[in-house]
Amino acid sequence: MSGLVLYLGFLGTIQGLKKLDRVAWMHEPPPERFGPDQEASIVIYYKRRTSQKQINNFINQVLECPAEPRHAGRDYPEFVTSYMLLIPPQANGFDGSTLGVRRDAVKAEAQAYIAMIEADPIVEHVFLDVIPTDIVYPQK
Of residues 131, 115, 116, the one with CA closest to residue 39? 131
3-state secondary structure of 63: helix
Residue 60 burial (CB < 10 Å; 0-12/13-18/19+)? exposed
The CATH number corresponding to 40-134 among 2.160.20, 3.30.70, 1.25.40, 3.30.1490 equals 3.30.70
15-73, pLDDT tens digit by residue?
Answer: 998 888 888 777 776 666 667 888 899 999 999 999 999 999 999 999 999 888 888 88
107 φ, ψ to 5°? -60, -40
3-state SS, residue 130: strand
Tell which phi-psi region holds residue 73, choosing left (phi > 0), alpha (psi between -120 and 50) or beta. left
> What predicted TM-score, i.e. pTM, was given to this entire model?
0.74
Q: Where are the domains of the chain?
A: 1-30, 40-134
Q: Report pLDDT for 115.
A: 96
pLDDT value, residue 33: 67
- Distance CA(14)–CA(17), nearest Å, equals 5
